[in-house]
Amino acid sequence: MKPRITLKKIAKEFGVSISTVSKALKDSHEISEETRGKIKAFADYYNYKPNSLALQLRNQKTSVIGVIIPEIVHHFFSTVINGIEQYANEKGYNVMVCLSNESYEKEVSNFTVLTNGSVDGLIVSIARETQENKVYKHFDAIISDDFPLVLFDRIIDELKCDKVIIDDIGGAHKATNHLIEIGAKRIALITTQDYITVGSLRKQGYLKALKTSGLTIEENLIYKINDTQDLYKQIEKVIQVKNPPDAILAVNEIYAAIALKIAKEKGLSIPKDIAIIGFTSGLISEFTDPSLTSVVQHGDLMGKQAAELLINRIENTAPSEYQKVVISSNLKIRKSTLSEN
Domain ranges of the chain: 7-50, 61-166+299-328, 168-296+331-337
**Angle formed at CA 183 by CA 277 and CA 214, multiple of 5 degrees:** 95
* Beta-sheet pairing, 187-191 with 222-224: parallel
For the residues 296-306, what does the mean pLDDT come to? 96
Find, among 6, 103, 112, 105, the residue nearest to 49 by Cα.
6
pTM, rounded to two decimals: 0.78
Query: Nearest-CA neighbor of 339 among 177, 178, 216?
Result: 178
- Cα 120 to Cα 57, 59, 96, 106, 331: the distances in Å are 10, 9, 11, 20, 36
Query: What's the CA gap between 206 and 224, in Å, rounded?
Result: 14
Whole-number pLDDT of residue 275? 98
Calculate the average pLDDT of the chain: 91
Q: Is 50 exceeded by the pLDDT of residue 53?
A: no
Q: Which three-class secondary structure state does DSSP give residue 221?
A: helix
Supply φ then ψ for residue 304, to 5 degrees. -65, -40
Shared fold status for 61-166+299-328 and 168-296+331-337: yes
pLDDT band at 7; cut points 50, 70, 90: confident
Q: What is the mean pLDDT of residues 197-226?
A: 96
pLDDT band for position 169 (cuts 50, 70, 90): very high
Domain spanning 168-296+331-337: which CATH class is it, in words?
alpha beta
- What would the CATH number be for the domain defined by 61-166+299-328? 3.40.50.2300
Higher pLDDT, 273 or 48: 273
Q: What is the mean pLDDT of residues 144-154?
A: 93
Mean pLDDT of 45-70: 75
**pLDDT at residue number 4:** 65
Most confident by average pLDDT, 20-29, 66-75, 270-279: 270-279
pLDDT band at 55, cuts 50/70/90?
Answer: low
